A and B are shown apart, each in its own frame.
Chain A
Amino acid sequence: MIKRSKYLLLITLFCVCGSMRITAQKNADFVAALNYVNLKQADSARARVDKAMRDSVVAKDAQSWYVRGFIYKFYYVSKEADNQTSPARTEALRSLRKGLSMLPDTAKTLKESINLQMKSLAAKYHNDAARSLDTSNYKIPVQNFATYMDIMKQIEPGMNLKPAEIEINLALSAIYSSLYSANPKTRANILELNKAALLKVLSLDPNNVSANYNMGILYYNQAVFLINNSDYETPLTSLNGIQDDQVQLFKQSLPFTEKAYQLNPKKEETLQALSGIYFGLNDYDKSKLFQEKLDELRKEQKKH
């Protein structure tokens, strides 16, 4: 594995050096910076490339920004690979984007090289987002995923990003739900974030079973929370209003859960949810009906 990455680094260096022939002749600091990459001395490589960029002629050259981006990416991989908010990675991306913006349409080879580096950075942003996403850390992964999407939209405008966007939003929804369950009183904003994540999924894929189901559960949990957190001394006038809101929430839950059921009638959780929603709406016959369907499903599953 190490040998393979060494080989890849040498190949890339060769390509970078090749494309840098003209600029390198103009500025010896570039040659030194690339040599430091070859020697795996990230600090020195970064210092020398920044020194080179102080030359106004070099700073006007798209290739220079490409090399700077390459070296900053090398620095990031060497020194900040575990840092989800790595400044070196941000700088690498900025440099590559700047290089790309300065390129004429005819510079296809360099454009491809820059795209390749950006694609590699995009993968890092994506993998970081997915790996680090949990209840204690979701804001940074969300930002990293957004950066991944930005890069991919820029370099591969035709790429289908829907599946990745759906998955990350579903995972985010699950995280938000866990956070909400842990302390619903202080997390009203989490609820809105959760709705936004699920609605994003449904805008991309209206027939997504998980998003429909989770949207139903979200309203369902709100309704349950509303009642169960009402004090026993709640006056009858207020109780009436609370029940109005509760019914409204259960009714909002229903179309999403019913759709999840239509899309996948064999999903136990949806049948349980529908039974719960109808129970909450005090429609005990329908609640019982879905409970019976659930029992039948379980019997069938046992047979198989």
Chain B
Amino acid sequence: MREPGSVLQTMRKLLFIIMGFLIFSAFQQREDAAIMNAHVKAIFLYNFTKQIEWPSDYKSGNFVIGVYGTYVTLLNELNKMASTKTAGTQKFEIKEITSIESAAKYHILFVSSDKMAQFAEITSKLKGHGTLLVTEKEGMTKKGSAINFVVVDSKIKFQLSKTNAEKQQLKVSRDLEAFAVKEND
């Protein structure tokens, strides 16, 4: 008969349970935060499709979202979104972009922070194309971006340049304007 003093023997099983969970949870964490961040951006992008009006020749065919730069988690999130949602009657088409062609037709082009050096070239090639340029680096609305993701009080928000959007023949709703944060916020 084991006495309470020998509880250590049975504690081994408890320890095993605890250690098993620690390894499990640590493994999960490495991916979760990045996915979560990308998920928030995908929600924003989906909202943009509702709050922005594209030129008439962009209202048929697929709704193309391009991701330029290394951002696998965002691509995955957008592909998940594309499998269940549509932009009105248009199906989503998600493209991983490795080089920008002048003739390319994107409804939204997300340019990740590792491609900022090419941003001037991108804006020049897509000038007036009806493409919503989305970036995620402070000050990018001054360089031609229409939407720029920023962090305010630990939350992801966005800055909006109505002028840059209009240069791309895009009409931004007043609701969306209201949600945007000012450059100096």
Interface residues of A (CB under 8 A from B): 5, 8, 119-120, 122-124, 126-127, 130-131, 133-134, 148, 152, 164, 167-168, 170-171, 173-175, 177-178, 181, 210, 213-214, 217, 220-221, 223-224, 227-228, 230-236, 239-240, 243-244, 246-247, 250, 268-269, 272-273, 275-277, 279-283, 287
Contact = CB atoms under 8 A, between A and B. Distances in A.
A247 B154 contact: yes
Given A130-B10, A232-B85, A171 B26 contact: no
B43 A234 contact: yes
A28 to B, nearest CB: 30
Nearest to B10: A130
A124 B2 CA distance: 8
Contacts of B81: 232
Contact of A123 (B3, B34, B156): B3
B77 to A, nearest CB: 9
B22 A269 contact: yes
Nearest to B33: A279
Contacts of A214: 21-22, 25
A120 B1 contact: yes
B60 to A, nearest CB: 22
Interface of B: 1-4, 6-7, 10-11, 13-15, 17-18, 20-26, 28-30, 32-37, 39-40, 42-44, 46-47, 81, 84-85, 151, 153-156, 175-176, 179
B22 A213 contact: yes
A230 B26 CA distance: 23
Contacts, number: 149
Nearest to A240: B155
Nearest to A177: B21
B154 A272 contact: no
Given A127-B10, A233-B85, A272-B29, A282 B3 contact: no
20 contacts: A123-B4, A124-B1, A126-B10, A127-B2, A130-B13, A131-B13, A168-B14, A171-B15, A174-B17, A174-B20, A210-B22, A221-B25, A228-B39, A240-B155, A268-B26, A269-B22, A269-B26, A273-B29, A280-B36, A282-B156
